[in-house]
Structure formats: structure tokens, C-alpha cells
Amino acid sequence: MKSTTLAAILVLLPLLATADTPEIVSVNATQSGDTWRLDVTLLHEDTGWDHYADGWGVYAVDGTELGYRTLAHPHVNERPFTRSLSGIHIPVGTTKVILRPHDLIHGDGPDYILLLE
């Protein structure tokens, strides 16, 4: 019985460790002239002012920050939620960018790779 319980805990541990990490679940990208607008849908279990997703960044593959959207308050009753960032300059010829969410407690969440058309 003890080995079954231990096995179950070991299987669930990675899920529990990332349960409060913010995650980008979808992105809608629109180009207008030489700039882009990104509508990013973020999923996070905001609990209040002490623990919430406080932003997401847009990065070139080499790590250069292309834009950052600060989230100024928790979204306790809105899950998932979508927020936009306009005026992003993405270098001509770029075929993909990395979006990375952030929260106050855990820091960065998993990267979301956005392929550009």
C-alpha cells in the first residue's frame, strides 16, 4: 500500500509543482504595417494581490525582448483572460517569436512559440 501511495505522489508531483505557473493558451497575431498586435490568452490561478500573473513578454529567438505587457492587477474571477499588446516591432524576416508569461511567486511560465505568417 505504501509503495502505491508513494508512486501516486511521485506521478502527481510535477503537476502540483507547476499548478500555479502561468500559461499562455492561445495567441492571435495581427500585422499592421511594420508593427504587430498580439491578443494573448493567459491561464493562471490568481488568488489575489499576493499571487497573480503580472505580465507576459515577447522575445526574439535570440532572447531579445520585443515587447512586454504588464498586468497591473489580479484576475481572480476571470480564467482564462485575454489582454493585448500593440505596436510591437518584429524584425522583417522573423518567422517565430517566443512569448513567456510571468507571475509574482513562480516567475516565468513555459514558453509559447508563435509562428508568424
Burial class (CB in 10 A: 0-12, 13-18, 19+), 39: middle
Q: Which CATH superfamily is domain 2-115 in?
A: Immunoglobulins (2.60.40.10)
Distance CA 113, CA 4 (A): 37
Q: What is the largest CA-CA distance in the chain?
A: 63
Print pLDDT tens along the chain (117 aa). Answer: 455 544 444 444 444 444 588 999 999 999 999 999 999 999 988 888 988 999 999 999 999 999 999 999 888 888 899 999 999 999 999 999 999 999 999 999 999 999 997
Tell me, yes or no, if the pTM score tops 0.85: no
Per DSSP bridges, beta strands 53-59 and 96-103 are antiparallel
CB 113 within 8 A of CB 26: no
CB 58 within 8 A of CB 108: no
